[in-house]
Structure formats: structure tokens, C-alpha cells
Copies of this chain bind each other. A is one copy, B any other.
Amino acid sequence: MRKLDETISRIDQIDFSMAEKTQKRLDFLTKPQGSLGKLEDLAKQVVEITKKDNPSLKNKVIFTMAADHGITEEGVSAFPKEVTPQMVYNFLNGGAGINVLANHVGARVVVVDMGVAEEIKVTSHKSQVKSFKNKKINFGTKNFAKGAAMARDEAIRSIEAGIEVFEEEFANNGIDIVGTGDMGIGNTTASSAIVSVITGAKVEDITGRGTGIDDKGLSHKIEIIKKGLLVNKPDSKDGIDVLSKVGGFEIGGLAGVILAAASKRVPVVIDGFISGAAALVAFSIEPKTKDYMIASHCSVERGHKVTLDFIGLTPVLDFNLRLGEGTGAALGIGIIDASVKILTQMATFEHAGVSEKK
């Protein structure tokens, strides 16, 4: 718990004192004031977070964290659970959606085994080893329809493992902006449970089809989540309790990444629904994290909008995505990078010899 407490203690409240000065700088650039809308807002937020007048987002990293979920025993997912490790290998081989999109925006993917139900065997191929971290807390969670998904100690360790992977990568390779990503068959079920508890929304209002279950599957999923909440009675005010009762190891790990990013003043780009549940856990542990978060997109998963509204985040993109892995975060990072380049690379009216507004 010491690492977690230390990290929390290093998170500053963002005071937005630089916003006016940054807007003035944006207004000196050769464009009508405010005409780059969302890009100007994002550039200002990056300046506030980093406390740098001229931030550069050279080192972009996406942490794609994987774990298995005991709740899959209840038949809540359209895909079999062996897909979790299979997809981890796909990430390591560069064939998944997150590899393509991270590459597109110039981001590195760091794959983390937070609790996959089998050992991940990494070959000695150099690029694989560099992008993989083993932080396995356990071989999947327990079935939360029957009891707690994990021990409280495991929940804390999963968050601290997330902090560790962030800090290792930050120290060794640098991180100027970070995106969150997930893989775990069954994890929309865990995320819906978390979102329902923390936001107070009804289970049926925030549970979606995940990887693609039908109407019957959706009703069953809702019943299972309700059962899990009855059995476990998570304390809505205690993010760690919620995580341990109905969460997942990758969700804890991502909450750790968010806390660590905030403690290092690094902008953290939240992916979809599972990352949103992790953001809720981090926000519940330390509300100051909110201003360090940028929501990349609004997912098809119906609980995602409720999650973003609860934290107070407005998504950058609305592309009907529901893949996870950090794919939306990658696209968001590309846009945020563009916003920072606007601030730092455009000519001023004076320099370009362009007349100002009458």
C-alpha cells in the first residue's frame, strides 16, 4: 500500500493558471481566434497538465493490459476465454488493431500480463521482449457471481503493478503522453459491475453486448451482474473494495497507470468502456486525477457515456468503437499530438506579416 499512498500524495490539483496565457498565445497565431475549437482546448489542457509552455509529445505509449475473468464461467461472453492469451500473442506479433493504430500515430505498445489464466511464453525475439511486461497478480480472477473476484491485497497489488510499469517505462524510455488499453474476455461484465456501483446507475442501463452477445445473452449478463453485486455488496465509496469484489487485474493495473501518469504530470488518454471503469476506480481513489485524463472516444457500450459523465469528461471522438485494446486512445493521441503542434509550430500574425482583425 506504500507505493499507492506515495503516488497519490504526489498528485497535484491542476489550477489552470496557465490557461489564459496559453489562449493568448493561441490568439497570436495566424487564424481567427478560437477557430481551431477542440484542438485549442486540447493544447491548453496538455500545457496545464505538463506545466510546459511548449510541450512535445515525442514519446507516446499505450499500455495494453490483459487479464482473465472468472465470471466467464457464467457464460457472459461471445468469445471463449482462451482468446485472452491468444490476443496477447497477437499483440506481441504486431497483428492486432492496437498495433496498427499505435503505429499509425507513432506510439509504442507495451503489453502487460496482469493476470492471464495461463503463462505467456515470450520468445527471445527482441521487439517482443521489449514490449512485454509480466506483472501477473494471479491466473485470472474468481467468479464474482459467487464471491469476491480477488482479495483486497490483490486489488492493491494490481494498482501498484500498474504504477510500477508506468514508472519503469517512464524512467527507461520516456513517456510524454500515455493511452490506456485492455484485453480480457469477460471484462465488460466486470466493468459494468464497477460502473453500476460507483455511479449508482442501474445495471440494465449500463450493461452492453461486449464482443457481441444476443438479447438472451444480454439479459443473462445483467442477471449475473446483479447477482454478483448482491453477493459481494461492494462499498461504492471505496474504489479498492469495488475493484476487489467485482473488478479485474487489468482494470486495477490501468487505474494504477492513471494514478502514476497524474503523479508525473503526464496526460493520460482513456480508451473505451473498460478503461473508463479503470478511470472510475482511479477517480474514486483520488478525484484530482480527473484533470489529467482525456477521454478519447465514446464507446458503443452503453455504460461508457454514464462513466464519462460521472467523472466529467467529454470524449474527443465518436466513432462507434467497441474493440478496446487502446484503439480509441491511439486515435485520440494522434489528435492531441496535432493540437500541440498547432500551439508550438504555427506562425504568429507578427512573424508572418498577416494583418489582424479589424
Chain A residues at the B interface, C-beta cutoff of 8 Å: 29-39, 78-80, 82-83, 86-87, 89-90, 93, 95-97, 99-101, 103-105, 210-212, 300, 317-323, 327, 331, 334-335, 337-338, 341-342, 345-347, 351-358
Known contacts being A95-B347, A97-B342, is A87 close to B354, with CB within 8 Å?
Answer: yes
Contacts of A29 in B (CB 8 A): 97
Which of B87, B318, B322 interacts with A30 by CB under 8 Å? B87
Question: Is A39 within 8 A of B104, CB to CB?
Answer: no
Hey, which chain B residues are within 8 Å of A99, CB to CB? 346
- Give, as a whole number of angstroms, the nearest-CB distance from A231 to chain B: 26
- Are A38 and B320 within 8 A (Cβ)? yes
A32-B212 in contact (CB<8A): yes
In the complex, besides A32-B79, A32-B210, A37-B320, 4 extra interface pairs with C-beta distance below 8 angstroms are A32-B78, A78-B357, A97-B342, A97-B346
Give which listed residue, B86, B337, B355, contacts A82 with CB less than 8 A: B355
Query: Is B38 a contact partner of A93 (Cβ separation < 8 A)?
Result: no
Assess the B80–A358 pair: CB atoms within 8 A. Answer: yes
Partner of A93, one of B210, B338, B352: B352
Tell whether, in the assembled complex, residue B32 and residue A100 are in contact, meaning their CB atoms are under 8 Å apart: no
Partner of A357, one of B37, B95, B211: B211
Complex contact B342–A37 (CB within 8 A)? no
Contact A352:B95 (CB < 8 A) given known A212-B33, A321-B37, A323-B32: yes
Judge whether A101 and B354 touch: CB under 8 Å: no
A354 adjacent to B83 (CB under 8 Å): yes
With A90-B30, A104-B338 in contact, is A321–B354 under 8 Å at CB? no
Distance (whole angstroms) from the CB of A47 to the closest CB of chain B: 16
Could you jot down 5 A-B contacts, CB within 8 Å?
A31-B96, A78-B357, A79-B355, A100-B338, A101-B338
Task: Find chain B residues with CB under 8 A from A36 CB.
Answer: 97, 319, 321, 323, 327
